[in-house]
């Protein structure tokens, strides 16, 4: 009987130790948090990195975290920013959204593992850290510390207005970018407690997140907060938009402020004080029928034309790993283009570069016109910006650029890989992402995630057992073709990139006249 009691007590004690081993308390800015662990990886979710941006803090730079007493449970994601949810999504959303998440496999703070900070996409009007494909467990198992940071989107993140500019004394309209920078400052101050190296931080993102990475790469306010950059289908190398120029998304401060005045009129808000007093959902609903809100060339966080900044050597010089997918436009362009309508559209939109564009993009038949419409979207929204970035980094930077072209084909993707499809491969979260994932997809995910983590660790994606990835240079222009047969080749769309390069050179000249 005594032995039985002793054995039972021992079993209970061991069980308690297992439970204790599955939680961890870490001290961060504001107080203590408790994360949970499984299979050697601890996750800490819903960590505040700034005060709630509500009330008088709406449309202001993020303010310091509000401290808390005791130990805050960090077991669940915080609400995402206010937005239109994707079909089928049920995640909570709230204006109080400035939280981040950490996944770590480090056993001790002294390990100094490489840190990867994820910035989600969503056209700067949607996105959240809780989307399942962004789970950081797989990358943490590969030795990285994964951090995902939230930022304000839509009018809450990117509204400019003359009153806001006067209030700040430094422009307005880039609050979402300020949120990212505040998150990076939190990482610098706190990531060592999770076993991360604050001196080895890689920012990475996709689509709007990749565009934001590009913006941070040229922002003086982000200097020293990261040491490497990965951009998946993102870049921002076109001139600011002064009117409605094709392929230019970043509005000048004056244009954005005028749009902000129109938005206040639609809200029925007489002034900034009245707008700050309005219900957040009412503000969001008023975006229906309005142009997209986008980060603004406020001359403080986004300092004009990024292409010119790189030419002048005014950028944060880090190694970069950048690329696009082969059929990005499939997610955005619907059938309907004809040979005649395609040609008319090119001639009306691309000025003196139109003839070069028509030569580069086949359009003799309606089928060709449709495919070329998709390809033009690929270059205009993503691929030219990535290529220009690689060219400028190689020309003006001391650090290397690595370029990829993601190309996986299937019966449902006969022209190439759609926008965003590479994310699941990077994060190793293939389940449920597409209907027919195979062993080839699993192997490709292993390869890509290894490249990404190697790059985060050393600034070079290469490693034992991986196909050699050459750094980009402006003579050979090599790119890694990421597919079921990875290989180094020239970019398949090189002629199209050069046609767009002529277009944007003209646009830069026109923008210089508009200043």
Query: Which residues are identified as catalytic?
Result: 207, 328, 419
DSSP 8-state symbol, 415: T
Helix (H, G, I), strand (E, B) or coil at 157: helix
Cα distance between residue 147 and residue 187, in whole Å: 8
Structure tokens at 483: 């597919």
Distance between CA atoms of residues 285 and 42, nearest Å: 38
Q: Give strand ranges (E) for 15-170.
A: 23-28, 31-38, 41-48, 71-73, 99-104, 113-119, 145-149
- CA distances (Å), 491 to each of 50, 325, 386, 472, in order? 42, 11, 12, 11
User: Rounded CA gap, 39 and 512, in Å?
Assistant: 56
Nearest of 96, 94, 77, 93 to residue 85 by alpha carbon: 93
Listed residue (348, 380, 372, 119) closest to 236, CA to CA: 380
Contact in structure between 27 and 40 (CB atoms under 8 Å): no
| Residue whose tokens read 């690329």 | 323
SS3 27: strand
3-state SS, one letter per residue, for 227-240: CEEEEECCCCCCCC
Beta bridge partners of 26: 33
Task: Report the distance separating Cα 118 and Cα 283, nearest Å.
Answer: 28
């Amino acid at each position: 009987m005594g032995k039985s009691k002793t054995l039972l007590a021992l079993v209970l004690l061991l069980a308690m130790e297992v439970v204790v081993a599955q939680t961890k308390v870490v001290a961060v800015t504001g107080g203590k948090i408790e994360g949970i662990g499984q299979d050697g990886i601890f996750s800490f979710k819903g960590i505040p990195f700034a005060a709630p941006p509500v009330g008088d803090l709406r449309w202001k730079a993020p303010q310091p975290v509000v401290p808390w007493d005791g130990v805050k449970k960090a077991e669940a994601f915080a609400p995402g920013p206010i937005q239109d949810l994707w079909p089928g999504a049920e995640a909570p959303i709230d204006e109080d959204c400035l939280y981040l998440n950490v996944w770590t496999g480090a056993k001790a703070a002294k390990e100094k593992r490489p840190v990867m900070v994820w910035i989600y996409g969503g056209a700067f009007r949607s996105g959240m850290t809780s989307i399942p494909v962004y789970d950081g467990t797989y990358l943490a198992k590969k030795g990285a510390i994964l951090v995902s940071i939230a930022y304000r989107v839509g009018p809450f993140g990117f509204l400019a207005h003359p009153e806001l500019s006067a209030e700040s004394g430094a422009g307005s309209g880039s609050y979402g970018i300020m949120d990212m920078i505040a998150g990076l400052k939190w990482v610098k101050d706190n990531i060592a407690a999770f076993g991360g190296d604050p001196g080895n931080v890689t920012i990475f993102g996709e689509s709007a997140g990749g565009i934001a990475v590009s913006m941070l790469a040229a922002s003086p306010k982000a200097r020293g907060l990261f040491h490497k950059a990965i951009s998946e289908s993102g870049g921002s190398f076109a001139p600011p938009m002064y009117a409605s120029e094709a392929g230019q998304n970043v509005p000048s401060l004056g244009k954005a402020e005028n749009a902000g005045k129109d938005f206040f009129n639609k809200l029925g808000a007489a002034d900034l004080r009245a707008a700050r007093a309005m219900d957040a959902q009412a503000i969001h609903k008023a975006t229906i029928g309005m142009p997209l809100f986008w980060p603004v060339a406020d001359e403080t966080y986004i300092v004009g034309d990024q292409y010119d900044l790189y030419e002048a050597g005014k950028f944060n010089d880090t190694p970069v790993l950048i690329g696009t997918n082969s059929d990005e436009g499939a997610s955005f362009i619907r059938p309907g283009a004809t040979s005649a309508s395609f040609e008319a559209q090119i001639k009306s939109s691309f000025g003196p570069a139109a003839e070069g564009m028509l030569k580069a993009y086949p359009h003799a038949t309606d089928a060709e016109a449709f495919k070329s419409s998709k390809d033009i979207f690929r270059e205009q929204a993503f691929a030219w910006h990535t290529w220009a970035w690689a060219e400028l980094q190689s020309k003006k930077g001391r650090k290397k650029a690595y370029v990829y072209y993601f190309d996986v084909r299937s019966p449902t993707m006969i022209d190439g890989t759609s926008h965003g499809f590479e994310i699941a491969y990077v994060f190793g979260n293939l389940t449920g992402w597409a209907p027919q994932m195979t062993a080839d997809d699993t192997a490709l995910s292993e390869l890509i995630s290894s490249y990404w983590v190697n790059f985060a660790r050393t600034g070079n994606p290469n490693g034992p057992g991986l196909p050699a990835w050459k750094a980009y240079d402006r003579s050979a222009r090599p790119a890694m073709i990421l597919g079921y047969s990875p290989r180094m080749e020239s970019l398949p769309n090189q002629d199209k990139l050069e046609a767009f390069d002529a277009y944007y050179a003209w646009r830069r000249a026109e923008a210089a006249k508009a200043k």
